[in-house]
Amino acid sequence: MLLRRARANQSEMAREVHPDLESAAYGLLVRLEECGGQRATDLAAYIGVGKATMSRQLRALEELGLVTRAPDPADGRAWLVTLTDEGRRRVGRVREARRARYVSQLAHWDRREVAELARLLHQLNRVMEK
């Protein structure tokens, strides 16, 4: 149930960033916001998609004005993908709205319960990264 709701939330957040944004591409934008410039191959590996799929998603994000590509200073043959200022603004606005919803929904919980939930979700995320 939690994963189904998370998937539905991701679709909603993607539409809030841009009405034409695919749900799967939202995760790319969040990754770029959190980690800065990334190579397409690194993004593909992180998301778990092939090179062709990643290329198509990045092209769509570029066309929406949310990301840009520039030569990688460490390797002139590679390109780094980064959020544009507009992309950073839109993703930040959506993530902040989501945080505010969670704060509101958990406001009636005991602080220890919230801390325990955070601890367990952190543990779940660590296990799933392996």
Architecture (CATH level 2) of domain 2-129:
Orthogonal Bundle (1.10)
Looking at residue 44, its pLDDT comes to 93
Token readout for 69 is 């590509």
Looking at residue 66, its pLDDT comes to 97
Looking at residue 89, its pLDDT comes to 97
Per-residue confidence in pLDDT tens, the chain, 130 aa = 878 888 888 888 889 999 999 888 898 999 999 999 999 999 999 888 998 999 999 999 999 999 999 998 888 788 899 999 999 999 999 999 989 999 999 999 999 999 999 999 999 989 987 6
As beta bridge partners, residue 75 has: 72
- 84, 67 Cβ separation under 8 angstroms: yes
pTM: 0.82
Looking at residue 72, its pLDDT comes to 87
Sequence ranges of the domains in the chain? 2-129
Given the structure tokens 């367990």, which residue do they identify?
A: 120
Q: What is the DSSP letter of 24?
A: H
Looking at residue 8, its pLDDT comes to 84
Looking at residue 62, its pLDDT comes to 96
